[in-house]
Amino acid sequence: MATLKDIASRAKVSVATVSKFLNSKGSFSSTTEEKIREAIDFYNYHHKIRSSISDNNSNTLVKTVGLIIPDVENPFFSSITKTLELLLFRYGYFLILCNSDNNLDLENNFFHYLTNKAVNGIILITTNSIERKIQQTSGIPLVLLDRKIDNLKISYVATDNKKGTKAATTYLIEINKNKIAFIGGRDDLNTSQERLNGYLEALKEFSIPVDEEIIVKGDFSFQGGYQAMSRLLLSGKPFDSVLTGNDIEAFGAIECLREAGITVPDQVSIVGYDDIWLSKISHPKLTTLHQPVFELCREAVNILLQSMKNPSIVVQRILEPELVIRESCKPGKKFF
Ligand code: RIB
């Protein structure tokens, strides 16, 4: 088990400096912070949590960070939750998880509770990035994760959704697909809009006409993907491939195709988004856009810790998704 001394030695700073850093006391150069964080990650160090009431009754309160996510059953969000909890615990913070169940009113209630219970910081994945208004956080540091809210000077960490779907659409075109359908996420999310824009931009670059009838709405759920695929099939419009808003939708779409006797990828190629663990073991294994969950979480934690020391900072980071090609796509033309 690594000690403060190990951290200090590797970071080439004093034990006192490491202790102040872990207890969010004092200010440090970015170089010093980086070196201490690297040493903490290297040793996978966990800051010893002092009890809520320590021996000398100093009323040392446990440090906490509130995390609000839309759907804990979606492996993308549960993976984020697990990663954030481990990263925050290294710095002595407990995570308070709030699952808004894709309900904006519930999200607002959780947000109000957390800002009034004086947690040390909040990380928010909003369920509605179009209509969400951020009330005052009473000075509690806030970082938006995955879903940014445009026109707000608030720190966020997300991936380049447009770049991701543009790369996926370009890949489908390059394997001779030119009837590419799109099943979107929810209209009230910037991630859905950005993914649609990436799809449209790729079609435009290859001078492939947009067919609005094979662009259907989804809601990032299995049922949503299933029902969207059902509407596509009922439309009678030909398509040879489908880009979906996320992996869970892709699984719903594949199930609908299977029930209709249509095979993936022989007749229709499918691409997801997220690269959740299920996509690596599904049949067929899913071609998808990998979201760098660890890096997203590490950036969000680093920005939150910096904001605890300097509440006025605003840091906005966009990370790169990566196209992962698996079995659910097959080259060649195959209309049905
Ligand atoms: O799977 C849920 C989706 O909503 C993910 O793609 C994530 O980016 C979020 O926007």
| Tens-digit pLDDT profile for residues 139-155 | 899 999 999 988 888 99
Atom 1 (ligand 1) nearest CA: 246
Please tell me whether residue 55 adopts helix, strand or coil conformation.
coil
Q: Where are the beta strands (DSSP E) in the chain?
A: 63-69, 93-99, 121-124, 142-145, 155-159, 180-183, 215-216, 241-244, 269-271, 288-290, 316-319, 322-324
Strand 241-244 to 215-216 pairing = unpaired
Ligand 1 centre to CA of 247 (Å) is 9
CA atoms within 13 A on the CB side of 94: 11
Contact 152/134 with Cβ under 8 angstroms? yes
Q: Which residues on adjacent β-strands are paired with residue 183?
A: 216, 244
Angle between helices 30-43 and 4-11 (to 10 degrees): 130
Rounded-to-integer distance, Cα 48 and Cα 3, Å = 10
Instruction: Please provide the distance, in angstroms rounded to a whole number, between the alpha carbons at the two ends of the chain.
Output: 60
pLDDT digits (tens, 9 = 90+) for 5-62: 999 999 999 998 988 887 767 778 888 888 988 888 888 776 654 444 333 444 456 7
pLDDT of 136 reads 62
pLDDT of 25 reads 75
Rounded-to-integer distance, Cα 292 and Cα 227, Å = 29
Name the one residue in this structure whose structure tokens are 């699984």.
251
146 lines ligand 1 (CB under 6 A): yes
Please give the DSSP secondary-structure letter assigned to residue 99.
Answer: E
147 lines ligand 1 (CB under 6 A): yes
DSSP string, 250-289: HHHHHHHHHHTT--TTTT-EEE-SB--GGGGTSSSPPBEE
What average pLDDT is seen over the chain?
Answer: 90
pLDDT of 27 reads 78
220 lines ligand 1 (CB under 6 A): yes
Query: In this predicted structure, which of 115-119, 154-158, 308-312 has the lowest mean pLDDT?
Result: 115-119
Ligand 1 centre to CA of 246 (Å) is 6
pLDDT of 55 reads 38
287 lines ligand 1 (CB under 6 A): no
What mean pLDDT is predicted for residues 245-253?
97
Strand 180-183 to 142-145 pairing = unpaired
The residue with greater pLDDT, 278 or 334, is 278
pLDDT of 69 reads 98
Q: What CA–CA distances, in Å, run from 224 to 179, 246, 291, 295? A: 21, 11, 21, 29
pLDDT digits (tens, 9 = 90+) for 273-305: 999 999 999 999 999 999 999 999 999 999 999
Contact 93/64 with Cβ under 8 angstroms? yes
274 lines ligand 1 (CB under 6 A): yes
273 lines ligand 1 (CB under 6 A): yes
pLDDT of 38 reads 86
191 lines ligand 1 (CB under 6 A): yes
Q: What CA–CA distances, in Å, run from 113 to 96, 154, 156? A: 11, 20, 21
Ligand 1 centre to CA of 95 (Å) is 21
pLDDT digits (tens, 9 = 90+) for 175-220: 999 899 999 988 888 899 999 999 999 999 999 999 999 999 999 9
